[in-house]
């Protein structure tokens, strides 16, 4: 495995690479022309958020369990209806991330998650950086992006990404961003499919967009916002083809 499908966003970010972006064509049909893009919009459904008090880990776990149940139901029915693999995701919680998991170092972020494509499992570490202000949509977005990685795994995108050739660090970094930004877009598509959420309005969306910060693995803040909005516009994974987008869209 070249690089596991991961997401470990927290309040701590590192500086983005300063090397100029370059256009690298992706010639893998499973990435640029994946069947997922032809399935149409996700079905509309209801999904109620469970309450989460600040720094209440138990409540946050219940929140995430309820959300993953909705994610499994929505994505599972959608994928199965289109003849795709639709296995549910496995969710585990840890107080401390193991030093290495699923073939990769995990880091020491205060709050983070990791998705393992081999076992179809997501591991969450819940700390104050996510739970000090749990009333925003950040925890929701983390769960939905984790499921985005799971969807990529189920439809063959992750496997194709792992075997895609690259020439040098800059090209590899761009491919990593294309993979990560696609999960952002799939998160936006899911959010649209259950929107409006009870007690939420456009102000919550604006606040979510303001929370993004530039990161070398996940792209510039404007790129992350762009792809979440692309997914949210129509709830259609077909709008999430980051692999055919220009380099400027995945910077």
Q: Which pTM does this prediction carry?
A: 0.91
Distance in angstroms (rounded) separating the CA atoms of residues 124 and 134: 15
Look at residue 17 in the predicted model and tell me its pLDDT. 32
Look at residue 15 in the predicted model and tell me its pLDDT. 27
**H helices, E strands: number in the chain:** 8, 6
For 44-62, letters b (16+ CB in 10 Å) and e give: eeebebeebeeeeeebbbe
Residue 212 Cα distances to 48, 137, 147, angstroms: 24, 12, 18
Q: Are strands 112-116 and 6-7 parallel, antiparallel or unpaired?
A: antiparallel
Do residues 176 and 3 lie in contact, with contact meaning Cβ atoms separated by under 8 Å? yes
Q: Can you give the residue ranges of every domain in the chain?
A: 27-250
Residue pLDDT tens, the chain, 251 long:
333 333 433 332 222 333 333 446 798 999 999 999 999 999 999 999 999 999 999 999 999 999 999 999 999 999 999 999 999 999 999 999 999 999 999 989 999 999 999 999 999 999 999 999 999 999 999 999 999 999 999 999 999 999 999 999 999 999 999 999 999 999 999 999 999 999 999 999 999 999 999 988 889 999 999 999 999 999 999 999 999 999 999 99
């Amino acid at each position: 495995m070249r690089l596991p499908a991961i997401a470990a966003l927290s309040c701590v970010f590192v500086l983005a690479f300063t090397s100029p972006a370059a256009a690298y064509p992706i010639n893998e049909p499973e990435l640029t022309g994946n069947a997922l893009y032809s399935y149409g919009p996700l079905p509309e459904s209801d999904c109620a958020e469970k309450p989460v008090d600040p720094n209440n880990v138990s409540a946050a776990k219940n929140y995430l369990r309820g959300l993953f149940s909705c994610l499994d139901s929505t994505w599972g029915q959608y994928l199965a209806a289109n003849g795709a693999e639709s296995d549910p995701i496995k969710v585990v919680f840890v107080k401390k991330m193991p030093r290495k998991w699923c073939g990769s170092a995990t880091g020491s972020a205060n709050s983070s998650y990791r998705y393992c494509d081999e076992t179809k499992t997501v591991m969450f570490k819940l700390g104050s950086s996510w739970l000090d202000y749990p009333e925003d949509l950040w925890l929701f977005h983390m769960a939905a992006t984790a499921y985005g990685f799971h969807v990529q795994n189920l439809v063959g995108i992750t496997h194709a990404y792992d075997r895609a050739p690259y020439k040098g660090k800059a090209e590899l970094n761009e491919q990593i961003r294309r993979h990560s930004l696609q999960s952002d877009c799939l998160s936006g598509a899911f959010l649209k499919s259950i929107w409006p959420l009870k007690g939420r309005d456009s102000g919550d969306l604006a606040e979510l967009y303001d929370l993004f910060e530039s990161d070398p693995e996940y792209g510039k803040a404007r790129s992350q916002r762009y792809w979440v909005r692309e997914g949210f516009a129509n709830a259609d994974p077909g709008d999430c083809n980051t692999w055919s987008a220009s380099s400027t869209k995945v910077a």
